[in-house]
Amino acid sequence: MAGTGSQPRAAHSTAPHSRRPFVEGWTVFAAVLMIFGGIMAIFQGISAIAKDDVFVATRNYVFQFNLTSWGWIHLILGIVIILAGLALFTGAAWARAVGIVVAGLGALANFMWLPHYPLWSIVLIAIDIFIIWALCAGSWTRADV
């Protein structure tokens, strides 16, 4: 019976992995990017609130808010993005969903900010897209939802 495979196998657990989702590389990558992107959004907001004449005001743009309003929007959104990024380190499934939503809101806000500071906006839009991709690329198991 040596060739029939009746030899005892090594102990191998078929149970789901006991590691938490935050251990996965994509989630950590997204959390770090969210913290960085949130800090950049806070700087963006502070600079718009503190000194309106730093940015170019484009006339006849569809989304016409004054720069102080945009500053407050970016400041608050940056704080929320940082908090969501920190929550990703806890491994909570809700933090991944919230991270996707706030990264989408960040990309949308930076799209509307394009006429004021195009390079900064494009970089933050790219970071937000990487965040969404990283949070969606990680494994979502039944225990996560």
- Say if CB 85 and CB 127 are below 8 A apart: no
Helices (H) and strands (E) in the chain, counts: 4, 0
Mean pLDDT of 106-121: 88
- Say if CB 103 and CB 71 are below 8 A apart: no
Q: Mean pLDDT highest for which of 10-19, 32-41, 47-56, 108-117?
A: 32-41
Mean pLDDT of 65-84: 89
Rounded Cα–Cα distance for residues 66 and 129 (Å): 26
Give the residue carrying structure tokens 């991270």. Answer: 99
pLDDT band at 133 (very low <50, low <70, confident <90, very high): very high
Give the residue carrying structure tokens 């992107």. Answer: 37
Is the confidence at residue 15, as pLDDT, over 50? no
Domain boundary assignment for the chain? 21-137
- Say if CB 102 and CB 127 are below 8 A apart: no
Is the confidence at residue 142, as pLDDT, over 60? no
Helix 67-88 vs helix 25-50: crossing angle, to nearest 10: 160
92 CA to centre of own chain: 14
Rounded Cα–Cα distance for residues 131 and 95 (Å): 12
Is the confidence at residue 1, as pLDDT, over 80? no
